[in-house]
Amino acid sequence: MVELLIDKKVPPSKIIINDRVDVAYISNVKGVHLAYHSLPVETVKLKFADLTVGCSVHSLEEAQIAEQQGADYVIFGHVYSTQSKPGLIPKGLEQLSFISELISIPVIAIGGIKPTNSRDVIVAGAQGIAVMSGILEAEDPLEAVQQYRSYLSR
């Protein structure tokens, strides 16, 4: 998959690999994103100091632990209801704001973010958004990206 992205002219400095430290390291990409139950952030940072390391979190406690262990950023969610987390209550903008205020590393929001609510997420304190189904399931993914960009730049 990394080769496909590079063949499509995505710079390695823009690629973050999900949960596979070995692949991120040997591919010489920007970094790795860890699930909360993955390898500890501090271990990855110690052994692979050149990698940017992010971590998924679902609470203030998890965010603080990731920050203390040296994470460069956290992805927090799910902020809104999403089909990928059926039956689970979303965390909401209030908890996103709370966490964003109490840790010093960037918080990226994920979960149910649509172009029309993306700006609210930024106003609540997130420094960015992560979107999967909103783009991957779109009839025209490029148009979907442009819609997100339009709402975020307002």
Q: Over 90: is that where the pLDDT of 85 sits?
A: no
Considering the chain, what is the average pLDDT of its residues?
95
Residue for token digits 């790795």?
32
- Tens of pLDDT, residue by residue over 38-65, are 999 999 999 999 999 999 999 999 999 9
Stated pTM of the model: 0.93
In CATH, what number is assigned to the domain containing residue 100?
Answer: 3.20.20.70
* C-alpha to C-alpha distance for 7 and 140, rounded to whole angstroms: 22
Q: Give yes or no: 78 in active site.
A: yes
Per the structure, the complete domain to which residue 11 belongs is given by: 2-152
Among residues 33, 37, 58, 78, the one annotated as catalytic is 78
What CA–CA distance (Å, rounded) separates 138 from 23?
A: 28
Phi first, then psi, for residue 104 (nearest 5°) are -100, -10
What is the domain count for the chain? 1
Q: In whole angstroms, what is the distance from residue 9 CA to residue 23 CA?
A: 18
125 closest CA partner among 145, 146, 148, 102: 102
